[in-house]
């Protein structure tokens, strides 16, 4: 992986291969975002090239004429790399690098590079390294095969090929080690989450730069890293806060999403994202000032589906209303996303309303159960306090009467565990 973030700023030529008749606004926006990604990675854009084709050329993505044109542009601008907004196959990268004599990356490669230079915690570093190796593995092995054919000796077991086998084994061993390490981290995280069992959990998710960390900070006073760059956050931070009812809850902030997030990253960040996966309510934060807010929402929703966490109740939250000029947009969005909230994390606008909606969403997804526990089972009472939210406690002749609230998906397990004590309902309204 090219470590472009630690080097002096580079110059890049950006390329998009689009179908004939593609909407130029959409193409521009995708390239604007790629430029932002490059900026974050430490490169400036020398120029942009858009090629319209029915489908990308198998060998080089671009047509012959375009390859020549880009070659000239490289000489003219002194660019040191060519970056495609589209996924490139290992063969395409190899052919293009040969033609251009500078490095060639695709969007996934740039995103991986940013993650690699920003990962700080052991967990994030392990996850990024695994994603990088998995991304590079097919590319390198095919490249090596190609090199061995080109440079290796005649015969089936030339020295080149032996080296490839050794390197491949090394890669595989490393990938194996990293996977094991991540499994250990998974277990640790699961234990941490278990210790918070019974406390309602909310997770902030959203497109990168939407203001998730800013919201965590303003809702919980957490000291978190906020920056006007993509992927400022790569870890999960969990902080306690209080709902309007006075009930304690936790809120987590995690890595942001983006279109074409490399599948390898999504896969290896699963343990970081597990906090969101197990949340009672997902707070989906979108930047209302982005002209592409709806597309961003779709990208996030699709990523949630990929991660298998789309069934959770989602509270749509539009951030940065302080900077929004088009007030009419609010009415449209309100109609499109009923029950959504408009806030400003930075100016503290509407945060009470957001908290109230969070509580409502939680109540909608939770179920109240009533129990009567005889006095000789007091241990179960203390268990309940650590496992679920106790809404009401009464001491009556027959024992302790409790009303507790629990997430609906825990109901079956709960009813099995406390079958002997669950009563139909409370004689008194809560």
User: What is the spatial distance between Cα 284 and Cα 295, in angstroms, rounded to a whole number?
Assistant: 14
- Measured from the CB of residue 45, what is the shortest distance to Mg ion in angstroms? 24
- Contacts of residue 183, defined as CB under 8 A and 6 or more positions apart, other chains included, come to none
What pairing do the DSSP bridges indicate for beta strands 201-206 and 43-52? unpaired
Q: Which does 342 bind (CB under 5 to 8 A by kind): ligand GTP, Mg ion, none?
A: none
Of residues 197, 227, 336, 394, which one binds ligand GTP by CB under 6 A? 227
Cα separation values, 378 from 231, 391, 417, 419, Å? 49, 17, 15, 16
| Total residue length of the chain | 430
352 CB burial (10 A radius; 0-12, 13-18, 19+):
exposed
User: What is the spatial distance between Cα 73 and Cα 302, in angstroms, rounded to a whole number?
Assistant: 37
* Residue position matching structure tokens 């609230």: 405
- Measured from the CB of residue 297, what is the shortest distance to Mg ion in angstroms? 17
- Measured from the CB of residue 79, what is the shortest distance to Mg ion in angstroms? 31
* Residue position matching structure tokens 């806060």: 241
Of residues 40, 80, 132, 213, which one binds Mg ion by CB under 5 A? 213
Q: Which does 320 bind (CB under 5 to 8 A by kind): Mg ion, ligand GTP, none?
A: ligand GTP
| Among 76, 77, 97, residue whose Cα is nearest residue 10 | 77
| Among 114, 115, 100, 111, residue whose Cα is nearest residue 49 | 100
The angle at the Cα of 224, spanning 128 to 179, to the nearest 5 degrees, equals: 20
User: What is the spatial distance between Cα 94 and Cα 325, in angstroms, rounded to a whole number?
Assistant: 47
Build a one-symbol-per-residue string for 231-270: x at contacts with Mg ion by CB under 5 A, - elsewhere: -xx-------------------------------------
Using CB under 6 A as the binding rule, whether residue 319 contacts ligand GTP is answered as yes
Using CB under 6 A as the binding rule, whether residue 38 contacts ligand GTP is answered as no
| Tokens standing for residue 44 | 């400036």
Q: Within 250-279, which residues bind ligand GTP (CB under 6 A)?
A: 256
- Measured from the CB of residue 357, what is the shortest distance to Mg ion in angstroms? 21
Of residues 14, 31, 230, 299, which one binds ligand GTP by CB under 6 A? 230
What pairing do the DSSP bridges indicate for beta strands 314-319 and 341-342? parallel
Using CB under 6 A as the binding rule, whether residue 233 contacts ligand GTP is answered as yes
Of residues 144, 202, 231, 318, which one binds ligand GTP by CB under 6 A? 231
**Given the rule CB under 5 A, which of 16-24, 92-100, 172-180, 212-220 is the region that contacts Mg ion?**
212-220
Residue among 228 and 412 whose Cβ is closer to Mg ion = 228
Q: Give me the residues that bind Mg ion (CB under 5 A), please.
A: 213, 232-233
Residues interacting with ligand GTP, by CB under 6 A? 206, 208-214, 226-228, 230-233, 256, 319-320, 322-323, 344-347
């Amino acid at each position: 992986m090219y470590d472009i973030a630690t080097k002096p700023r580079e110059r890049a030529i950006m390329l998009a291969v689009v179908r004939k008749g593609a909407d130029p606004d959409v193409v521009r926006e995708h390239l604007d975002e790629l430029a932002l990604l490059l900026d974050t990675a430490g490169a400036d854009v020398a120029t942009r090239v858009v090629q319209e084709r029915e489908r990308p050329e198998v060998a080089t993505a671009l047509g012959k004429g375009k390859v020549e044109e880009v070659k000239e542009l490289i000489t003219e601008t002194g660019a040191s790399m060519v970056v495609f907004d589209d996924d490139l196959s290992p063969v395409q990268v190899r052919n293009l690098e040969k033609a251009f004599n500078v490095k060639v990356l695709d969007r996934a490669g740039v995103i991986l590079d940013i993650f690699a230079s920003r990962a700080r915690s052991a967990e994030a570093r392990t996850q990024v390294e695994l994603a990088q190796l998995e991304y590079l593995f097919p590319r390198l092995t095919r490249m090596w095969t190609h090199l061995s054919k080109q440079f290796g000796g005649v015969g089936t077991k030339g020295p080149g090929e032996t080296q490839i086998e050794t390197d491949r084994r090394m890669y595989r061993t490393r990938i194996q080690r990293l996977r094991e390490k991540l499994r250990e981290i998974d277990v640790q995280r699961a234990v941490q989450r278990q210790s918070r069992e019974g406390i309602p959990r909310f997770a902030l998710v959203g497109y990168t730069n939407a203001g998730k960390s800013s919201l965590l900070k303003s809702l919980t006073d957490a000291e978190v890293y906020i920056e006007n760059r993509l992927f400022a956050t790569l870890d999960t931070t969990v902080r306690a806060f209080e709902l309007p009812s006075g009930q304690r809850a936790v809120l987590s902030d995690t890595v942001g999403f983006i279109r074409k997030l490399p599948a390898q990253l999504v896969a290896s960040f699963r343990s970081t994202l597990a906090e969101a996966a197990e949340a009672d309510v997902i707070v989906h934060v979108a930047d209302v000032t982005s002209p592409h807010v709806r597309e961003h929402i779709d990208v996030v929703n699709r990523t949630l589906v990929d991660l298998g966490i789309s069934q959770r109740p989602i509270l749509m939250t539009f951030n940065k209303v302080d900077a929004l000029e088009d007030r009419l947009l609010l009415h449209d969005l309100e109609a499109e996303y009923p029950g959504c909230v408009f806030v400003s994390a930075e100016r503290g606008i509407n945060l009470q309303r957001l908290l109230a909606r969070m509580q409502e969403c939680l109540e909608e997804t939770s179920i109240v159960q009533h129990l009567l526990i005889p006095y000789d089972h007091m241990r179960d009472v203390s268990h309940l306090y650590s496992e679920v939210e106790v809404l009401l406690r009464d001491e009556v002749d027959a024992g302790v009467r409790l009303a507790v609230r629990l997430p609906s998906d825990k109901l079956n397990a709960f009813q099995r565990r406390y079958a002997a004590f669950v009563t139909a309902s409370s004689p008194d309204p809560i």
